[in-house]
Amino acid sequence: MNIITIKKICFFVLFLTSLNMMSQNGKVSGRISLSGNVPAEGVSVALKGTKYSAVTGESGSYEIRNVKPGSYVISISAVGIHSVEDNVVVKEKATTTKNFSLSENQEDLDEVVITKNKYKQDKPSLSLRLQTPVLEIPQNVQIVSGQTLKDQQIVSMSDGVIRNVSGAVRLEHWGDMYTNITMRGSQIQAFRNGFNVVSSFWGPLTEDMSFVDHIEFVKGPAGFMLSSGDPSGLYNVVTKKPTGITKGEATVIAGSYDFYRASLDLDGKFDKKGKFLYRFNGAVQKKGSHRPFEHNDRYVIAPVLSYQLDDKTKITLEYNYQHANMTEVGSYYVFGADSGGYATMPRNFTMTQPGVPDTKINDHSGYFVFEHKFDDNWKLTAQTTYFKYLQKGYSSWPKAVGPGDVDVDYNGIIDGTLSTGEIIRNVAIWDSESNMFLGQLFVNGKFNTGPVSHKVLGGVDLGNKDYMADWGQSHDLDTVDNPFNVYHPNYGPPSNGMPNFDRETPLSQRAGGLYSSKYSAGYIQDEIGFIQNRLRLTLAVRYTWISQSSSYDVMAQEDSHITPRVGLSFSITPSTAIYGLYDQAFTPQSGIIKNGDKIQPLTGSNIEFGIKKDWFDGSWSTTLAAYRIIKENELTSDPTNGPNDQFKVVLGEKRAQGIEVDLRGKIFDGLNLIANYAFTESLVKSSNVPGIIAGSVVPGYSKHVANAWLNYSLQSGKLKGLGASIGGTFLAGRETDTWSVGLERLPEYFKLDGGLSYETGKFKITANVFNILDKYLYSGSYYSYLNSYYWQTEQPRNFRVGVTYKF
């Protein structure tokens, strides 16, 4: 017998022995649930000191196979819940069942992102500072989940997010530069991780979805839980954090009009104990347009580190960087040749001039978060952030639109006449810089006084914001003798040459717009629970001090205000709650009044009533809300000035009221639905502006807004994993963005989208078609000083196809 034969025999014996040993091994399985029998997905299960481990699936089940017989300690752990350990004995050829029902730490549960289905989240993020499930909050709060963003292939904050929330619209698209969402009759505040990140009307840069976990929409005043805000509400972008579960995801997407994108999401831990965690997200995107000469390219990096110092203390460091390289602001606007109305030119028509340098934006933000739990009932959070926004770019807008006499000034020519279809295009510089230092310190606590429960929130907010911009340099591309003709466009060298602006002088010296604000605030809130927390009374008060100034102010303007909040919520059943709310808001305003009057902070009050219900063990939810908002001292654009004029006017008093209906969640296994409707009416109650009378309709909203998104995926069979989606958006009673309404109203709007998906193993393919009916869709307004309508077109029928690989 040779040596090779002996080796084969030994290998065969060892192989049979290993099979026999494996056949004698045991198995540990079970199900992990949270309070209310909610499945705990994504929880780590391990036998301590061994290689045996598993992660729970969507149903909360886990299974650890081929475990050697013996006694072990089984450990259940995840970020945001208390670790649980228990003894377990594994026997030969037997399955040991170990089920766990976790008593989760309510205020930290959102860190785990455990949801019953992919479109519904039951609790707000920690950055909203609340300890209360959405069902019990006496206010309309809607959460757009991360899976919703993926299914709809949303790549930025301005890319279709608002279809998932009742009453949210965007009247100006801003070329995917700024989001500027209107809700309940006014533009709402933009927040990121609980910080108000608005430094001017034109910010912040719309967030790329690569580093976004989910988005929270808070309807009505929100000053009680965040910094000062508009009484119409806010949206809070919550970024991705480490979960303690090692996983990764890579996605590539290609689509119409030269759209290409790649993103990466890495989540894991540096040590075996899971104290030192990381998360890294990055994206690269090239994006063209249905209009020629237009593009918006980006790249993004977003690392996050967290370290658990001990069982009670954790620190988190986060950095977000976005770089945008895009066609000049305004390239997406089209102006009518005369007063003939909207959409008189083809969808792909452009007035932009090839060769105008790109606008480049660098958006930085860094966060430091310190969290300390004194015990299971009391927690301290201290967090600070620094935002720096840098822009070097251009803005295009016409100087004059024919027909008619014009009065322009270039090369010694001061007047002339334009015929129908003739336009003098103008390009202005837009260099800007913004710096924001923001800080928050707050305490969450829970205690009982006899049969009465208390959830206490108290803290302070500090902020220092500066914004400066140079938009004072401009250049006419065309002349009266040789204007741009929309009927016979010539995109060659412009008749008046290209702009050559001064950038040698520091921005701080040439900036025509300088704005700054400082604020500090203190607040306290108590949610008092009666009848075993079935009846909840919320009492809160906030004191805010604000100082603001601009380059046009002789001295800084200071003001302070106390804003109360009273809310009442009652659980008719464990799954049904009715509520009422009275709240106030107080927020600074930026701008310049022509006569030099002092700018007063905006104040507003909100009365809201509603009913919320979770259906079929919380699988899907509905919210019905009715509200009335009164706003005073609101600044608005002067109707007699153009869009580039910085002067504002104090409107007086405005009333917005309406009804909102939201439905989201899993109707049954495989079928998920998001649907909403809102009726909004916003009117002037009293006016300080000539030409705007009491009873006038306030611009900036749509009276009727309805959205739906339906997704179904097969749960079994040979085609398991195949899914289909269909969705639509309908707008009626659309108001323009200016007080100059013109003679033609914006028409009704309907957009139909749909798609297919297939998921198998670690791969998922998603394809969506947008604007299936290929409608000519646009938003726009009318400018009386130009005697012209303008509009921005959306893409014709277009598609995106993406492939995601999970590892």
Q: How far is Cα 744 from Cα 781, in angstroms, rounded to an integer?
A: 9
Encode pLDDT of 313-345 as tens digits.
999 999 999 999 999 988 999 998 666 789 999
The Cα 508–Cα 514 span in angstroms is 9
Give the three-state DSSP class for 73. Answer: strand
Residues 281 and 240: beta-carbon distance below 8 Å? yes
Q: Are 287 and 259 in contact (CB under 8 A)?
A: yes
* Bridge partners, 319 (sequence order): 366
* Rounded Cα gap, residues 97 and 690, in angstroms: 77
**pLDDT computed for residue 689 by the predictor:** 76
**Residues 6+ away with beta carbon under 8 Å from 19:** none
Which residue is listed with tokens 């839980």? 225
- pLDDT tens, position by position, 482-531: 999 999 999 999 999 999 999 999 998 898 877 888 999 999 999 999 99
pLDDT of residue 42: 73
DSSP string for 737-757: SSS---SSPPPPEEEEEEEEE
Among candidate residues 157, 208, 467, 198, the one with its CA nearest the CA of residue 324: 208
Measured CA to CA, the distance from residue 344 to residue 331 in angstroms comes to 17
Which tokens sit at 277? Answer: 């965690």
CB 585 within 8 A of CB 186: no
Instruction: Give all domains of the chain, ordered by start, each with its CATH number.
Output: 3-101 (2.60.40.10), 113-239 (2.170.130.10), 247-398+429-510+533-793 (2.40.170.20)
532 phi/psi in degrees, rounded to 5: 55, 40
- Listed residue (175, 166, 164, 246) closest to 205, CA to CA: 175
- Quote the pLDDT of residue 376: 85
Q: Is 738 helix (H, G, I), strand (E, B) or coil?
A: coil
Write out residues in the chain with pLDDT < 70, as ranges.
1-23, 35-38, 58, 79-82, 103-117, 201, 222-229, 337-339, 406-415, 551-556, 588-592, 594-596, 637-647, 741
CB distance 801 to 765 below 8 Å: yes
Residue 653 burial by Cβ neighbours in a 10 Å radius (0-12, 13-18, 19+): middle
In this prediction, residue 252 carries a pLDDT of 98
C-beta neighbour count of 569 within 10 angstroms: 25
The identity of residue 179, as a single letter, is T
d(CA 464, CA 381): 20
How far is the C-alpha of 311 from the C-alpha of 583, rounded, in Å?
A: 37
- End-to-end Cα, the chain, rounded Å: 47
Quote the pLDDT of residue 652: 81
